[in-house]
């Protein structure tokens, strides 16, 4: 049975991915923080691990729990948007900056070297859930400036992870899930979490069409970095 690790699986897109991989017969390890997330994942028959990705000690404990675990897939999905008002005219304060950057960027830098060796034996996929808002080439305005800066930085982490781990057989992707109706995306977003997850699963599952080192949306469209 293939094994998928989903970091940030308690709700929204991560939970939809966990549900769909379980329904497809995968063994799923989902990370959560609170009790609600744990219960939702256990109800799916997923294995659970507690992790606050901002906590370095918790990441080290997470690495120890996963030691020796073979993985076909790891999805680094946990993320926060931060202040909706952040723009170049209204810069974030230091605490807001640290929260968003630590969650969206530092955590990915900590987790990549933990999961890549576990993916290598199966020549698995390491997928970072990024955003088209992280595209520098596609930037259309400075709204959501802190989130945009964090996802641009995450995209660089994904590119560097590709350079670092492709030689070990790990396929690294950066994915845009669409504008999704979740707590983050809000009720007016374009697609629901199940459609987003199904699209990303299609991209993840088709290495011939969506090669290592790429940045794709959930419909399989390549995005400019
Ligand atoms: N929704 C959209 O339209 C959209 C668009 C582009 C990209 N994305 C990206 O897609 C990913 C998932 O977003 P979503 O819409 O599903 O958001 P969401 O509903 O707000 O869920 C966010 C997930 O991240 C987890 N998380 C946040 N901070 C964490 C931390 N410090 N440690 C561990 N887990 C943490 C949450 O866990 P808790 O339940 O414990 O808080 C939750 O599982 C994010 O990376 C987001 O940037 C979303």
81 CA distance to ligand 1 centroid (A)? 8
Give the per-residue pLDDT at 85: 83
Q: Map residue 184 onto helix, strand or coil.
A: coil
In angstroms, the CA 162 to CA 182 distance is 29
Q: Which residues are marked as active site?
A: 147
Whether 125 and 207 have beta carbons less than 8 Å apart is answered as yes
CB 162 within 8 A of CB 172: yes
Residues in the chain predicted with pLDDT less than 50, given as ranges, are none
pLDDT at 28: 98
**What pLDDT digit, counting tens, does each position of 7-34 carry?**
999 999 999 999 999 999 999 999 999 9
CA-CA distance, 6 to 16, in Å (whole number)? Answer: 10
Kindly list the distances between the CA atom of residue 69 and the CA atoms of 5, 23, 118, 159, in Å, as whole numbers in the listed order: 10, 21, 6, 24
Q: Tell me, using a 6 A CB cutoff, whether residue 122 lines ligand 1.
A: no
Pull the structure tokens for residue 186: 């809000």
Could you tell me the domains of the chain?
A: 3-217 (3.40.50.720)
Name the CA dihedral angle for 148, 150, 156, 157, rounded to a multiple of 10 degrees.
Answer: -150
Tokens of 90: 């209204």
Closest Cα partner for 130 from 98, 163, 164, 162? 162
Sheet holding 171-176, edge to edge: 47-50, 27-32, 3-7, 73-76, 125-129, 171-176, 215-217
pLDDT of residue 141: 87
Atom of ligand 1 nearest to the CA of 178: 5
Eight-state DSSP code of residue 190: S
- 144 Cβ inside 6 Å of ligand 1: no
Ligand 1 neighbour 41 (Cβ under 6 A): no
Phi-psi region of 159 (alpha: psi -120 to 50; beta: other; left: phi over 0): alpha
pLDDT of residue 123: 98
| 78 vs 99: CA distance, rounded Å | 12
Name the token pair of 85. Answer: 């008002």
What is the dihedral sign for C-alpha 52, 54, 55, 59? positive
The pTM (predicted TM-score) of the whole model is 0.98
């Amino acid at each position: 049975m293939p094994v998928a690790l989903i970091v940030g699986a308690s709700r929204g897109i991560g939970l939809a991915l966990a549900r769909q991989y379980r329904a497809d017969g995968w063994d799923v390890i989902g990370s959560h923080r609170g009790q609600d997330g744990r219960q939702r994942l256990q109800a799916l028959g997923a294995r659970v691990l507690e992790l606050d990705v901002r906590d370095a000690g918790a990441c080290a404990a997470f690495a120890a729990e996963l030691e020796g675990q073979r993985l076909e897939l790891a999805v680094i999905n946990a993320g926060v948007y931060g202040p909706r008002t952040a723009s170049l005219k209204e810069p974030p304060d230091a605490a807001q900056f640290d929260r968003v950057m630590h969650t969206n960027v530092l955590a990915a830098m900590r987790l990549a070297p933990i999961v890549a060796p576990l993916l290598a034996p199966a020549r698995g996929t390491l997928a970072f859930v990024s955003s088209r808002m992280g595209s520098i080439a596609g930037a259309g305005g400075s709204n959501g400036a802190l989130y945009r800066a964090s996802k641009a930085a995450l995209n660089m982490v994904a590119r560097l992870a590709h350079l670092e781990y492709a030689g070990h057989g790990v396929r690294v992707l950066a994915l845009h899930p669409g504008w999704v109706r979740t707590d983050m995306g809000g009720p007016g977003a374009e697609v629901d979490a199940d459609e987003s997850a199904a699209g990303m699963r299609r991209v993840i599952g088709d290495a011939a069409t969506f090669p290592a080192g790429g940045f794709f949306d959930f419909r399989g469209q390549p995005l400019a970095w």
